[in-house]
């Protein structure tokens, strides 16, 4: 509940306004005659919607593109009121519901077993921040959390925020940020009630329980307390859903009088703010996906003239924090995997190396405390958390974790003067665990392990890390989870051979998919699936270079890695052609579109959530919310002919051709500002027109939600159950309904 966040987390957030991811190179080494092909499932007799084709074309760089489904893009967006567009979207939803109706019993069964694995009356581990302990709780049956605190000195718990009450009467609800003032008197929080990610901020007086009249509309960032708890710094949204300012709101004054502390002129940059480790400096950061610039302002005097740390230099990223007047800097200016440096405040751009960049160690962030600093990073793709002394910061004291493959990192550590660190930990077989690490003794104290009420025996599962050779010779790691008795489970279902495998990935923006734990995926694994996460290029799983090898003119490495990972797993006997199911969302949905264009025969079913599939059109439209900030990630096809041609060569919508495609389920959000609803709608419309198979193709558009789908833990879980029901159905593993 504290507004102190890592400077590195802020820098990462500024670079992560994401679209929130050829011939086969290996033959299956198994005897294909042993593989049981699932029976083709029956679909509804209802005919799929057919979108009208209306003449539309555009030309760039001497190339003309025909786009007959452009009309599905309502030009009044973000208002969507075109009757033809809404009729088509609603027709697709009706078709979705008609086809999934027969699977409702399976969906409900999956939902019930997924819900049974979740402790309904759960709570977080209390954490001290100043004079109070803070935590949140779910009550049994509740969709949303309640947030509490109580005095460290003793006393009764105080309910400070009830998300359930705030969500009443809304189809959608999401808490954006919540920040308690340093004195502990005020709580600033923001909410979104339609999925548009344009939050409304309010302030609650925790002494009286009353909401102050202050209301800040269109907020897109954290709320940072400054000036002795008399004011908040926030980032407003522009009409185009960009954050180009850091503004100061003084409590009790009209928002029309809010002062701009910093305004960014580059439309591709985004602005954010945080506090330094000792909360004496306001850190105002601006940046895009590859370049940063930071300014410092005294937190007690936020309207003072800012100190520019170092002018922006294209391709140089940096984040900062301050301790006892010394500036600490995390930057990639002289090494791709980042170094840690420091400087004086009177010469903030004169960076002296503290920890040099390394090919073997990828430095992903740092956090400053009173008596030590902590660095986080990855070595051989595994998370590292290391303590260091200020006197000798090159000497690292790593925290040892109990498994060979895991994901771990700093959790909520709001205080500066501490002798314990709150850590989070999990693996593909180990449920989420909260530790306190005792700095003096090096002991890990388990505070909480995720409870699974319906039961879970980790000894019944095995996880493996498999290296698959991609077509260019690069070795791509894949994390795999299976039941030890998988063969027996499959045999009971009449499946001979290696059985089905679900392959998941994201592969963009340098976001690594960790080999973490999920109770939901057990619903596939317990039915005989292997579940695999492909750590493909485009993420930074194996370092910053791994990310760069999947962006701009190397973007197709991401798609090839995924296809080759699946083919490699087939060759190693984990599964068979046509028995790989796959899923991904956002940029991972783009991945789904690309791989089904490239190797459709590999997949038995594919789920693409809010897929970024109309890549070329979106990157050509500078009016869209994210486009200018995304040119550094994908290229700018407006000005660069080579970028236009390369993007055209892989954009899933543009490369959809007359061929057989696997069964597919596609989702969208009408209010989604990240991947606009018309991208999946246009893609599905084109697929229906050109594909040569009779496989099921479904589009579900959430009419009152955005990028993340439905809100509320049970509504969200129901959508996961729906996805898994579709996969099991299409793989011939769903219970037979009447008439089949």
Residues designated as active site: 586, 672, 707
Q: Is the dihedral of CA 225, 228, 229, 230 positive or negative?
A: negative
Burial 596-630 (b: 16+ CB within 10 A, else e): bbbbbebbbbbbbbbbbbbbbbbbbeeebbbbbbb
Give the pairing of strands 420-426 and 407-410. antiparallel
Beta bridge partners of 396: 388
Residue in 211, 133, 208 with CA at minimum distance from that of residue 165: 211
Residue in 120, 213, 226 with CA at minimum distance from that of residue 183: 226
What is the C-alpha to C-alpha distance for residues 353 and 364, in angstroms, rounded to an integer?
A: 16
What is the C-alpha to C-alpha distance for residues 676 and 390, in angstroms, rounded to an integer?
A: 47
Cβ–Cβ under 8 Å, residues 578 and 570: no
Cβ–Cβ under 8 Å, residues 617 and 638: no
Residues in Cβ contact with 109 at an 8 Å cutoff, skipping those fewer than 6 apart: none
Residue corresponding to tokens 């509490």? 148
* Structure tokens, 539: 């993420």
- For 599, the 3-state DSSP assignment is coil
What 3 state SS string does 458-526 have? HHHEEEEEEEEECCCCCEEEEEEEEECCHHHHHHHCCCCCCCCEEEECCCCCCCCCCCCCCCCCHHHHC
Q: At what angle do helices 104-116 and 713-730 cross, to 10 degrees?
A: 130
Q: DSSP letter string over 421-444?
A: EEEEEE-SSS--EEEEEETTTTEE
Q: What angle do CA 550, 553, 557 make, to 5 degrees?
A: 35
Cβ–Cβ under 8 Å, residues 114 and 718: no
What 3 state SS string does 172-192 have? CCEEEEEEECCCCCEEEEEEE
What is the C-alpha to C-alpha distance for residues 632 and 115, in angstroms, rounded to an integer?
A: 41
Backbone angles phi, psi at 589, to 5 degrees: -75, -35
Residues in Cβ contact with 529 at an 8 Å cutoff, skipping those fewer than 6 apart: 499, 500, 501, 502, 581
What is the C-alpha to C-alpha distance for residues 149 and 128, in angstroms, rounded to an integer?
A: 9
What is the C-alpha to C-alpha distance for residues 144 and 286, in angstroms, rounded to an integer?
A: 33
Q: What angle do CA 257, 261, 267 make, to 5 degrees?
A: 105
Residue in 345, 346, 285, 275 with CA at minimum distance from that of residue 318: 285
Residue in 585, 606, 574 with CA at minimum distance from that of residue 508: 585
Q: What is the largest CA-CA distance in the chain?
A: 79
What is the CB-side half-sphere exposure of residue 274 using CA atoms within 13 A?
Answer: 23
* Structure tokens, 164: 């359930």
CA distances from 734 to 447, 454, 737 (A): 40, 22, 9
* Structure tokens, 479: 């994390």
What is the C-alpha to C-alpha distance for residues 551 and 553, in angstroms, rounded to an integer?
A: 6
Classify residue 688 by its DSSP letter.
H
Beta bridge partners of 479: 465, 533
What is the C-alpha to C-alpha distance for residues 626 and 636, in angstroms, rounded to an integer?
A: 13
Residue in 34, 31, 42, 24 with CA at minimum distance from that of residue 601: 24
């Amino acid at each position: 509940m504290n507004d102190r966040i890592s400077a590195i987390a802020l820098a990462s957030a500024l670079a992560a306004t994401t679209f929130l991811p050829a011939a086969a190179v290996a033959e299956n080494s198994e005897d294909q005659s042993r593989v049981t092909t699932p029976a083709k499932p029956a679909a509804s007799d209802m005919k799929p919607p057919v979108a009208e084709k209306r003449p539309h074309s555009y030309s760039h760089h001497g190339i003309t593109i025909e786009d007959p489904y452009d009309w599905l893009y309502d030009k009044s967006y973000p208002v969507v009121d075109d009757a033809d567009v809404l009729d088509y979207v609603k027709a697709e939803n009706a078709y979705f519901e008609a086809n999934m109706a027969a699977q409702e019993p399976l969906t409900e069964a999956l939902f019930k077993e997924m819900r049974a694995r979740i402790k309904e009356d759960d709570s977080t581990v209390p954490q001290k921040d100043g004079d109070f302990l803070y935590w949140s709780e779910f009550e049994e049956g509740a969709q949303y959390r309640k947030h509490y605190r109580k005095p460290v000195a003793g006393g009764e718990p105080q309910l400070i925020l009830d998300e359930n009450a705030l969500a009443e009467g809304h189809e959608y609800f999401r808490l954006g940020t919540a920040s308690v003032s340093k004195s502990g008197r005020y709580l600033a929080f923001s909410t979104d009630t339609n999925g548009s990610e344009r939050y409304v901020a309010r302030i609650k007086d925790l002494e009286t329980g009353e909401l102050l009249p202050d209301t800040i509309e269109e907020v897109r960032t954290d709320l940072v307390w400054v000036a002795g708890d008399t004011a908040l710094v926030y980032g407003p949204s522009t009409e185009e859903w960009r954050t180009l300012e850091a503004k100061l709101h003084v409590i009790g004054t009209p928002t029309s009088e809010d002062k701009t502390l910093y305004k960014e002129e580059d439309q591709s940059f985004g602005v954010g703010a945080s506090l330094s480790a000792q909360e004496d400096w306001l850190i105002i950061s601006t940046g895009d996906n590859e370049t940063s610039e930071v300014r410092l302002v005294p937190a007690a005097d936020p309207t003072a003239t800012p100190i520019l740390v170092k002018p922006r230099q294209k391709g140089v990223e940096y984040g900062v924090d301050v301790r006892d007047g010394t500036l600490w800097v995390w930057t990639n200016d002289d090494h791709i995997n980042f170094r840690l440096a420091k400087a004086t405040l009177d010469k903030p751009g004169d960076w002296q190396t503290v920890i040099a960049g390394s090919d073997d160690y990828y430095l992903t962030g740092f956090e400053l405390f009173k008596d030590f600093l902590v660095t986080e990073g990855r070595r051989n793709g595994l998370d590292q958390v290391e303590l260091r002394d200020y006197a000798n910061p090159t000497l690292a004291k790593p925290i040892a974790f109990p498994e060979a493959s895991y994901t771990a990192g700093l959790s909520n550590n709001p205080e500066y003067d501490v002798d314990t660190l709150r850590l989070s930990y999990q693996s593909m077989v180990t449920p989420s665990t909260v530790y306190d690490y005792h700095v003096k003794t090096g002991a890990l104290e388990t505070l909480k392990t995720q409870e699974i009420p319906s039961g879970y025996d980790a000894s019944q599962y095995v996880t493996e890390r498999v290296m698959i050779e991609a077509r260019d010779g690069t070795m791509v790691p894949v994390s795999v989870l299976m039941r030890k008795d998988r063969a027996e489970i499959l045999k009971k279902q009449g499946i001979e051979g290696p059985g089905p495998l679900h392959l998941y990935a994201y592969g963009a923006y340098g976001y690594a998919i960790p080999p973490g734990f999920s109770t939901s995926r057990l619903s596939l694994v317990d039915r005989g699936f292997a579940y695999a996460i492909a750590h493909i290029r485009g993420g930074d799983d194996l370092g910053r270079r791994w990310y760069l090898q999947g962006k701009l003119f190397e973007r197709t490495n991401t798609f090839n890695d995924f296809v080759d990972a699946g083919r490699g797993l087939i060759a190693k006997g984990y599964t068979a052609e046509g028995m790989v199911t796959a899923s991904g969302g956002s940029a991972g949905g783009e991945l789904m579109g690309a791989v089904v264009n490239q190797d459709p025969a590999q997949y038995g079913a594919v789920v693409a959530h809010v897929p970024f599939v109309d890549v070329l059109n979106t990157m050509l439209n500078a009016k869209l919310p994210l486009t200018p900030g995304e040119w550094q990630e994908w290229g700018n096809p407006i000005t660069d002919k080579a970028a236009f041609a390369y993007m055209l060569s892989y954009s899933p919508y543009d490369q959809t051709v007359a061929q057989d495609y696997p069964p597919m389920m596609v989702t969208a959000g009408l209010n989604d500002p990240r991947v606009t609803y018309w991208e999946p709608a246009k893609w599905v419309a084109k697929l229906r027109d050109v594909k040569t198979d009779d496989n099921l193709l479904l589009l579900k558009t959430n009419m009152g939600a955005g990028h993340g789908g439905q809100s509320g833990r049970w509504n969200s879980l129901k959508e996961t159950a729906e996805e898994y029901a579709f996969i099991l159905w299409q793989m011939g593993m769903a219970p037979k309904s009447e008439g089949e």
